[in-house]
């Protein structure tokens, strides 16, 4: 982007010079120095709470550093706010979806900078450009669709498309692929490579280490608010990254797979329909089995399972331990020993503005009441037990659920649902937005559930995770269960073929950068 390539190569477009950030007496970030060059993808990795997001907010004008300076092109700058930073060509793509749900894709992409023809907005042109922008991200979304009708993954793509409409020299991606399927991820990585080749500097935050290895030129590791290392990506294998992040050796992410699945069917689903989402689904779940549901976002996995447990309208035959059952509401399925943990932890799993105790006992309050009265003492005991059983790390017991890290929120949600003493646990995207250390704990927990004779259904867009922990994987495509893989056949290639309907060699082309 610069007229003078030699100068551009020498001077970092964005630089942090010993910046620190304290909230009250607590310093969450200490003396971070970082140089981002034009035309490089600089990845920032670290566990949850390592300070990645805070660093990004400092660099993009959302927060002001308590010490140190931010510099662009070698000159110290002080952003008045994110808009000021945008004017200087620095764009942050947020992890959270910040779109108006009732407006269309195009209206959102151009919100605040609508194209006009005379006094009127030029919808046709905005729709055309939006379609183009979205297509360049590898998605096919009608620009006149309302945001509320899109899946989370697609909303994220729209958000990225919106951010890239601003003239940019530095783009910061905060966990952009957390809810994307491998296809969508691959398309996004391609967009990022294109940006880089045009000389744009990219800061890339992610938990997905293989992906970081595939895209980054340099990698900076944060731990406990400190910069641990900045290395050339070629020097670091994912294992090394994990070790630097966690500060210890990552022995093995997935627990030893044990053949805990028995031959006894606990759940049999026949010809189940969820109007608009799932058609004619049939499958069985065995006692002690971990069954995976793979597929692209929007394939209908979440909706199928929500339909079965009574969270959505659905029709079909469901047998629990051989007896026909019909769950009209989720309360019925809970009573029958089936729990469903939503992929949307913040929106459907936990009350973010309430404390841990309230959240923990919400689904099982009747167990904590005598007469009409809630027994707070027993709730507190239960919270103590949950904190130790599930290793929930909260610095104070009266924290709000929203103040926990993603990993600890997931543990709290697990603890909440396990109070229902289920025999079948359905977990939707169990490790989305969760750091590696916690992931390992959650895999171990799922495996232990199966060992104690419980059955688990895992819905996930991370194929490696399904392959790592499941006994058997069902693949959905366009509302139908199209395949089943098990044993040796549980490979990403095999799953992608079913999930996309694309032949193996084509799929390899796509998933090559994604292994």
Partner 1 sequence: MTDTKTITDTRGFGRKLADLDKTAVAPFLALAALFVLGALVNPNFLSIDNLLNVLTRSSFIAIIAIGATFVISAGGLDLSVGSMAALVAGIMILFLNSGAIDGDMAMLATGIVVAIGVGALAGLLNGAVITIGKIEPFIVTLGTMAIFRSVTVWLADGGSIAMKSIAMRNMFRPVYTGVFLGLPIPVWVIIAAGLLGAFILYKTSFGRHVVAVGSNEDVAKYSGIHVNRVRAMTYIIQGICVAIAVVVYVPRLGAATTTTGMLWELQAITAVVIGGTALRGGVGRIWGTICGAFMLEIVGNIMVLSNIVSEYLIGAVQGTIIIIAMLVQRTLQKKK
Binding site for partner 1 (CB under 8 A): 23, 25-26, 28, 49, 51, 54, 224-225, 311, 329-331, 334, 340, 342, 344, 347-354, 358, 362-363, 365-366, 368-369, 372-374, 395, 403, 405, 416
Least distance in angstroms from the C-beta of 373 to partner 1 = 5
**CA 424 – CA 440 distance, rounded (Å):** 21
Least distance in angstroms from the C-beta of 447 to partner 1 = 25
Least distance in angstroms from the C-beta of 95 to partner 1 = 14
Cα angle vertex 493, ends 490, 494, to 5°?
A: 50
Q: Which residues, 6 or more positions from 372, have their beta carbon under 8 angstroms from its beta carbon?
A: none
Structure tokens at 32: 């971070």
Least distance in angstroms from the C-beta of 461 to partner 1 = 20
Q: Which is nearer to partner 1, 15 or 175 (CB)?
A: 175
| Burial degree of 56 (CB within 10 A; 0-12, 13-18, 19+) | buried
Least distance in angstroms from the C-beta of 205 to partner 1 = 15
**CA 344 – CA 331 distance, rounded (Å):** 19
Cα angle vertex 490, ends 486, 492, to 5°?
A: 150
The pairing of beta strand 67-72 with beta strand 75-77: antiparallel
Q: Which residues, 6 or more positions from 121, have their beta carbon under 8 angstroms from its beta carbon?
A: 114, 115
Q: Which is nearer to partner 1, 340 or 443 (CB)?
A: 340
3-state secondary structure of 49: coil
Cα angle vertex 497, ends 482, 502, to 5°?
A: 105
Q: Which residues, 6 or more positions from 38, have their beta carbon under 8 angstroms from its beta carbon?
A: 1, 2, 8, 9, 13, 169, 199, 200, 201
Least distance in angstroms from the C-beta of 487 to partner 1 = 34
Least distance in angstroms from the C-beta of 497 to partner 1 = 33
Q: Which is nearer to partner 1, 100 or 353 (CB)?
A: 353
Least distance in angstroms from the C-beta of 84 to partner 1 = 21
Structure tokens at 21: 């950030």
Which among 222, 297, 209, 291 has a CA at the least distance from the CA of 485?
Answer: 291
Angle between helices 238-246 and 436-451 (to 10 degrees): 100
Least distance in angstroms from the C-beta of 417 to partner 1 = 9
Q: Which is nearer to partner 1, 216 or 274 (CB)?
A: 274
Least distance in angstroms from the C-beta of 471 to partner 1 = 27
Least distance in angstroms from the C-beta of 315 to partner 1 = 20
Q: Which is nearer to partner 1, 73 or 344 (CB)?
A: 344
**CA 15 – CA 36 distance, rounded (Å):** 6
Q: Are the C-beta atoms of residues 187 and 139 closer than 8 Å to each other? A: yes
Q: Give the residue ranges of DSSP H helices in 294-368.
A: 301-308, 330-335, 356-361
Q: Which is nearer to partner 1, 270 or 364 (CB)?
A: 364
| Burial degree of 80 (CB within 10 A; 0-12, 13-18, 19+) | exposed
Q: Which is nearer to partner 1, 237 or 329 (CB)?
A: 329
Q: Which is nearer to partner 1, 409 or 511 (CB)?
A: 409
Burial annotation 454-489 (CB, 10 A radius, 16+ → b, else e): bbbbbbbbbbbbbbbbbbbbbbbbebbbbbebeeee
Least distance in angstroms from the C-beta of 68 to partner 1 = 18
Q: Which is nearer to partner 1, 238 or 310 (CB)?
A: 310
Q: Which is nearer to partner 1, 21 or 454 (CB)?
A: 21
Q: Which residues, 6 or more positions from 171, have their beta carbon under 8 angstroms from its beta carbon?
A: 91, 92, 93, 163, 164, 195, 200, 201, 202, 203
Q: Which is nearer to partner 1, 39 or 49 (CB)?
A: 49
Which among 273, 267, 269, 271 has a CA at the least distance from the CA of 314?
Answer: 273
Q: Which is nearer to partner 1, 41 or 419 (CB)?
A: 419
């Amino acid at each position: 982007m610069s007229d003078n390539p030699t100068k551009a190569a020498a001077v970092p477009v964005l630089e942090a010079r010993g910046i620190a950030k304290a909230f009250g007496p607590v310093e969450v970030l200490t003396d971070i120095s970082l140089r981002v060059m034009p035309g490089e993808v600089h990845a920032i990795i670290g566990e949850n709470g390592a300070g990645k997001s805070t660093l990004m907010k400092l660099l993009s004008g959302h927060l002001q550093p308590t010490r140190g300076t931010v510099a662009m092109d070698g000159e110290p700058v002080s952003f008045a706010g994110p808009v000021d930073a945008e004017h200087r060509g620095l764009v942050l793509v947020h992890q959270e979806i910040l779109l108006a749900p009732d407006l269309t894709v195009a209206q959102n992409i151009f919100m605040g900078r609508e194209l006009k023809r005379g006094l009127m907005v030029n919808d046709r042109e905005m729709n055309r450009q939006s379609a183009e922008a979205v297509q360049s991200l590898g998605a096919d979304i009608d620009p006149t669709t309302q945001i509320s009708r899109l899946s989370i993954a697609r909303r994220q793509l729209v958000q990225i498309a919106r951010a890239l409409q601003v003239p940019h020299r530095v783009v910061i991606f905060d966990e952009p692929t957390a809810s994307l399927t491998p296809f969508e991820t691959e398309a996004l990585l391609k967009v990022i490579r294109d940006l880089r080749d045009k000389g744009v500097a990219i800061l890339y935050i992610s938990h997905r280490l293989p992906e970081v290895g595939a895209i980054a030129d340099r990698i900076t590791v944060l731990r406990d608010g400190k910069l641990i290392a900045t290395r050339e990506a070629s020097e670091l294998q994912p294992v090394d990254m994990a070790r630097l992040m966690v500060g210890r050796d990552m022995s093995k992410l997935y627990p030893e797979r044990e053949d805990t699945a028995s031959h006894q069917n606990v759940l049999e689903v026949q010809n189940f329909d969820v109007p608009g989402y799932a058609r004619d689904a049939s499958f069985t779940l065995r006692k002690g089995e971990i069954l995976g549901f793979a597929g692209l976002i929007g394939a209908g996995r979440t909706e199928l399972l929500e339909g079965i447990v009574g969270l959505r309208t659905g029709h079909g035959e469901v047998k629990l331990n051989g007896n026909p059952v019909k769950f009209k509401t989720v309360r019925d399925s809970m009573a029958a020993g089936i729990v469903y943990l939503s992929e949307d932890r913040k929106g459907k799993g936990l009350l973010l503005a309430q404390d841990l105790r309230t959240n923990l006992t919400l689904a099982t309050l009747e167990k904590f009441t005598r007469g009409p009265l809630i027994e707070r003492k027993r709730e507190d005991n239960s919270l103590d037990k949950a904190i130790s059983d599930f290793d929930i790390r909260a610095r104070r017991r009266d924290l709000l659920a929203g103040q926990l890290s993603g990993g600890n929120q997931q543990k709290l949600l697990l603890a909440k649902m396990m109070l229902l003493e289920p025999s079948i646990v359905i977990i939707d995207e169990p490790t989305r937005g969760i750091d590696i250390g916690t992931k390992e704990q959650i895999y171990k927990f799922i495996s232990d559930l199966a060992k104690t004779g419980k059955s688990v259904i895992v819905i996930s867009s991370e194929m490696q995770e399904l392959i790592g922990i499941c006994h058997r994987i069902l693949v959905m495509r366009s509302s139908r269960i199209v395949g089943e893989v098990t044993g040796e056949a549980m490979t990403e290639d095999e799953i992608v073929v079913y999930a996309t309907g694309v032949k193996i060699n084509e799929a390899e082309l796509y998933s090559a950068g994604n292994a």
